[in-house]
Amino acid sequence: MSTREKLIKARLGMVALAEELRNISLACWRAGISRSHFYEIKDAFERCLRECRRIRTRAQWGSPRAAVST
């Protein structure tokens, strides 16, 4: 596992911890980061999810030039 993958896994784990505890301040304190940094990570995570969903939706429909068989 690369360093980048380890970092991503740790950040996603922190977001999951915050959801589990339902307390962002406590999760940030346990992880040793500021709340502003947590929100930066969460925003990046949500942007990535939106982008993945957009790509998946586009791929699901296929090419706009694909022939439609009836």
The H or E element containing residue 37 is helix 35-61
Q: Is residue 44 part of a domain?
A: yes
pLDDT above 90 covers what percent of the chain? 44
Q: Is residue 70 part of a domain?
A: no
Q: Is residue 69 part of a domain?
A: no
- How far apart, in whole angstroms, are the C-alpha atoms of residue 16 and residue 38? 11
In terms of residue numbers, what domain contains 57? 3-61
CA 40 from chain centre, in angstroms, equals: 11
The mean pLDDT of 36-65, rounded to a whole number, is: 79
The number of domains in the chain is: 1
Q: Is residue 43 part of a domain?
A: yes
Q: Of 7 and 55, which is predicted with more confidence? A: 7
Q: Is residue 35 part of a domain?
A: yes
* Radius of gyration of the chain from its Cα atoms, rounded to whole angstroms: 18
